[in-house]
Amino acid sequence: MNTIIAFIQNIPLDLLLIQTVNGIVTGMILALVASGLTLIFGIMDVVNFAHGELFMLGAYVGVVVFALTGNFWIALILATMIVAILGAAMQILTLRPLIGRDPLTTILATFGISLILQNYVLWQFGPVARKISEPITTHFNLFYLEYPWYRLVIAGLSAALIGLFWVFLKQSKFGVWIRATTQDRVMAQAMGIPVPWVYTGVFAIGAALAAASGVLFAPMAGVTHTMGLDWVLKAFIVVVVGGMGSLGGSIAAAIFISLLEAYAAIWVSPAQAVIVSFIVLILTLLFRPTGLFVPTPK
Amino acid sequence: MTTAPLEKPTSIAKPRLSHNAIFWIGFCVVMVLLIVAPMVLPVFWRRFLTEVLIWGLLAMSSDLLIGYTGMVSFGHSAFFGLGMYGAAAALLLVSPPSLWLAIGLGLAGAAGAALFVAYFSTRLRDIYFAITTLIFSQIFYVIIFTWTPVTGGENGLIFTRPHLTIPFLYDARFTNATMHWFVLAVVTASYLILRRVTRSPFGMVLQSIRENEARTRAIGYPVERYKIVAVMLSGLFAGLAGVLYAIQNEFAAPDFVYFITSGDTVIFNVMGGIGTLVGPIVGAGFFQLIRELLSRLFGDQFPYLIPLGVIFIVMIIFLPQGLLGFARRWLNR
C-alpha cells in the first residue's frame, strides 16, 4: 500500500501535463487515420490493410513536393490529392473485381497492395529516414520545455479535417449517397445511386485522409518505409476498441489510447509503451467485444 | 501424382485404381523424389529445398485455419518465432544440446503463445480474427525485440546445431543430407497427421464451421472450443516449423517474429491453394522460386516483392483457388 502511495506521490505532474498534450496531438492524427479506415470498413466491408501504406505514401509524396516547392502547405494539399487519385485507381484495379466475393479476399488484396507500396518506396527512397521541416517554427513555454506551436496546429488541423469530413457526410449529395449505401446497398442501387462509384469515392476519401495525416505527422518524426505498419496496427486497435464502423467511437478511442501510451512512456521506453494499447485491446475483447465507445447493442 | 494415370493399364486386379491407391502412389513418387533430391542436387538447391519444406510446414499449419476452418490468421509468426526461441533456449541452456529437448521446448513455447492467442482471438470472427491475431503476434514481437537480456534483442540468439540422435540407436552430427531427411521426415509426419485430422470427425466439424458457423452452433457443437483447439493445433505445427528453421540456420532472430513472416505464410497459402494441405507447400516453393529467379535476373537489390505482390493480387482476382485448387476436392475426398 505504502509503495502505491509513494508511487502516486512521485508522479511528476509537469511531465504528466506535457504527456497529456503529446497524447492529444498524436491522438488527433490517429483519429484522422482511423476515421478513413472506419469509413472504408463501414461502407465497403473492406478492411484496408494498405491504409498504413497510404499514410506512408502521403508522407513520401509530401517529402518530394516539399523538396520541389519548399512550401509545406502546398505539399500537404498536393500529397492528399495525389494519394486520393492513387487510392481510386487501386480500388478500381484490385477491389472492384472482388465486389461480392468473400470479404476475406479483400483483406488479402489490400495486403498485396501494401506489400507493393512498401517495397516500391523502399526501392525508390532507400531505408534512410526523410524529414520535412516544420512550417511553423515558433515555440511557447510549457514548464521547462519549449513546446512547438506546430504540434498544437496539427491537432487543430486534424480536428478541422474530421469536422469537415463529418459535415461532408451529413450535408453533401455524395455524403447522402455514402450513408444510403451504408444502410442498404441493394436499395441504394435500385434508387439510382452509382454504388460502384460510391465505393471508389469512399476509398479515395479514405486514402486522402490517411495521406493528409501522413504529411501532418511527417515533421514530428522521420518518414520511413516501415511507418505504415505501426500506424495501421494502431488504427486497427482504435477501430476495434472504438467499435467497428463507428466514427465517434474511433475518435474517442484514438485519443484514449494515445493518452494511455503517452502516460506509459513516462515510465517505460516508447517501444514498450505500445503494449499498453495491446492490453486495452485485450481487455476490450474480453469484456466488451463490440467496442468501448459505442452504446451497448440490444 | 502426375504419373498416376500411367499406372492404369498395368493394374490387372481391378479395372480402375481406387482413389486411395492413386493418392498413395502419387505420395510415394513425391517422397522418393524428395528423398533422392539431396544426393543429386547441388548444395544451393539442396538447402533451398530444405527451407521450402520448412516454410511449407508453416504454411500447411496455417492452412488448417484458413482452408479448413475459414479463419485467416495473420499471426503465425508468433508461433513460428516462439518455436524458434524455445528451441534456442533449450540449445543454449542445456549442455550437451539435445535435439529432442529443443523440439519439446519449442513446441511448449508455441503452445503457450497459441493458447494465449486462441483464447482471445477466437471470440471474434472473420476480419476481426485476422486483425487480432496480427496484433497479438506484434505483442510477442515487441516483447522479444525489447527484452534484450533474455532474447538478445535485435541481434537474436546464436547457437550450435545439436546432434541428430535417436535414443540408443543413432548419434551423429547433422550433415546437409541428414538435415534434409530429418526435415522431410518431420514435414511428412506432420502432413499425414494433419491429413488425418482434417478427415476426422473433428476436422469435419471445423469444415462445417467454415461453411456455416451459425448452423454448426445450432446443431450443438461448442464452436468456440473447436476453434480454440484448431488454433492451438495450428500453432503447434507452426512452432515445429520454427524449431526446424532454428536448427537448420543455427540462430533465432526477432525478424522472424515480425509480421512479414505471417504475411508470407498467407501468401504461400493463397498461391498454392487453400484447403489442400499440400498446396501451401507448393505455394512456398513457387514463391521462393520466383524470388530466387528475380534476384538472379536483376541482382540482389531488386525489390522482388513488387512483382510477387502483383502476381499475388492477380491470383486472388483470377485464380482464387491457387495453383493446386483444381485438385482440392480430389485431395479431400
pLDDT per residue as tens digits for the range A16-62: 888 888 888 889 989 999 988 888 887 777 888 889 999 999 999 99
* Interchain proximity A112–B259, CB inside 8 Å: no
Query: Does B263 contact chain A (CB < 8 Å)?
Result: yes
Identify from A96, A115, A227, A240 which residue to disrupt to test chain B contact, counting B C-beta atoms within 10 A and taking the largest count.
Answer: A115
Q: Measure A97 CA to nearest chain B CA, in Å.
A: 7
* Interchain proximity A108–B316, CB inside 8 Å: yes
* Interchain proximity A275–B139, CB inside 8 Å: yes
* Residue B171, SS3 per DSSP: strand
pLDDT at B15 > cutoff 60: no
Question: pTM for the full model?
Answer: 0.84
CA distance B122 to B116: 10
For residue A155, what are the CA distances in angstroms to A29, A151, A216, A255? Answer: 7, 6, 9, 11
For residue A43, the model assigns a pLDDT of 78
B172 sits in which H/E element = strand B170-172
* Interchain proximity B313–A237, CB inside 8 Å: no
Query: What is the overall mean pLDDT for chain B?
Result: 85
For residue B1, the model assigns a pLDDT of 44
pLDDT at B12 > cutoff 60: no
In a domain, A4, yes or no: no
For residue A98, the model assigns a pLDDT of 85
Query: Does A145 contact chain B (CB < 8 Å)?
Result: no
pLDDT at B222 > cutoff 50: yes
In a domain, A217, yes or no: yes
List residues bridging with B164 in a β-sheet.
Answer: B172
Q: Which among B128, B306, B316 has the least Cβ separation from residue A109? A: B316
What is the C-alpha radius of gyration for chain A, rounded to an integer number of angstroms?
20
For residue B166, the model assigns a pLDDT of 75
For residue B83, the model assigns a pLDDT of 92
* Interchain proximity B131–A112, CB inside 8 Å: no
Exposed, middle or buried: residue B25 (CB in 10 Å: 0-12, 13-18, 19+)? middle
For residue B231, what are the CA distances in angstroms to A90, B110, B327? Answer: 33, 11, 25
* Interchain proximity B316–A289, CB inside 8 Å: no
For residue B13, the model assigns a pLDDT of 53
Query: Which domain range does residue A98 map to?
Result: 31-223
In a domain, A264, yes or no: no
Convert the pLDDT of each residue in A239-249 to its tens digit.
Answer: 888 877 778 88
Domain borders along chain B are 44-259
Q: Which residues contact B74 (CB under 8 A, 6 or more apart)?
A: B130, B131, B133, B134, B137, B259, B262, B263, B266
List the alpha helices (DSSP H) in B122-222.
126-146, 148-151, 176-199, 201-211, 213-219
Q: How many whole angstroms from its chain centre is CA B236? A: 10
Please give the full DSSP string across B293-312, using - where no structure is assigned: HHHHHH-TTS-THHHHHHHH
For residue B2, the model assigns a pLDDT of 45
Query: Does A271 contact chain B (CB < 8 Å)?
Result: yes
Count other Cβ atoms within 10 Å, centred on residue A12: 11
In a domain, A10, yes or no: no
* Residue B157, SS3 per DSSP: strand
pLDDT at B253 > cutoff 60: yes
Helix axes B278-298, B305-318, angle to 10 degrees: 140
Of A26-40, A125-139, B7-21, give the lowest mean pLDDT range: B7-21
In a domain, A238, yes or no: no
CA distance B204 to B202: 5
Q: Which residues contact A209 (CB under 8 A, 6 or more apart)?
A: A32, A33, A35, A36, A39, A161, A165
The string over A155-175, giving b where at least 16 C-beta atoms fall within 10 Å of a residue's C-beta and e elsewhere, is: bebbeebbeebeeebeeeebb
For residue A1, the model assigns a pLDDT of 67
CA distance B74 to B15: 47
Identify from B310, B313, B318, B321 which residue to disrupt to test chain A contact, counting A C-beta atoms within 10 A and taking the largest count.
Answer: B313
CA distance B105 to B113: 12
In a domain, A281, yes or no: no
pLDDT at A143 > cutoff 80: no
Q: Which among B72, B126, B310 has the least Cβ separation from residue A116? A: B310
pLDDT at B3 > cutoff 50: no
CA distance B53 to A236: 33
For residue A269, the model assigns a pLDDT of 78
CA dihedral B248, B250, B255, B258 (to 10 degrees): 60
pLDDT at B6 > cutoff 60: no
Collect all residues of chain A within an 8 Å Cβ-Cβ radius of residue B315: none
For residue B295, the model assigns a pLDDT of 86
Identify from A106, A285, A287 which residue to disrupt to test chain B contact, counting B C-beta atoms within 10 A and taking the largest count.
Answer: A285
Query: Does A123 contact chain B (CB < 8 Å)?
Result: yes
Q: Return the percentage of chain A with pLDDT > 70, whole number.
A: 97
* Interchain proximity A236–B135, CB inside 8 Å: yes
* Interchain proximity A274–B270, CB inside 8 Å: no
For residue A296, the model assigns a pLDDT of 67
Collect all residues of chain B within an 8 Å Cβ-Cβ radius of residue A269: 146
| Main-chain phi, psi angles of A181, to 5 degrees | -65, -35
CA atoms within 13 A on the CB side of B280: 29
Q: Which of B111, B79, B67, B130 is nearest to B278 (CA)?
A: B67
In a domain, A1, yes or no: no
Contact between residue B246 and residue B39 where contact means Cβ atoms under 8 Å apart: no
* Interchain proximity A120–B303, CB inside 8 Å: yes
Collect all residues of chain B within an 8 Å Cβ-Cβ radius of residue A92: none
For residue B240, the model assigns a pLDDT of 93
Convert the pLDDT of each residue in A78-118 to its tens digit.
Answer: 999 999 999 999 999 988 888 878 777 888 889 899 989 98
| Main-chain phi, psi angles of A126, to 5 degrees | 75, 175
3-state DSSP helix/strand/coil % of chain B, to nearest 5:
75, 5, 20
pLDDT at A282 > cutoff 70: yes
* Interchain proximity A116–B128, CB inside 8 Å: no
Number of structural domains (chain A) is 1
pLDDT mean over B272-294:
89
Q: Chain A residue closest to B260 (CA)?
A: A115
The x, y and z cell numbers of residue A59, run together, are 508522407
Question: B10 or B58, which is more confident?
Answer: B58
For residue B298, the model assigns a pLDDT of 84
Contact between residue B323 and residue B286 where contact means Cβ atoms under 8 Å apart: yes
Q: How many CB pairs under 8 A join A and B?
A: 98
Cis peptide before B96 (omega within 30 of 0): yes
For residue B229, the model assigns a pLDDT of 92
Highest mean pLDDT among A8-22, A104-118, B184-198: B184-198
Query: What is the overall mean pLDDT for chain A?
Result: 85
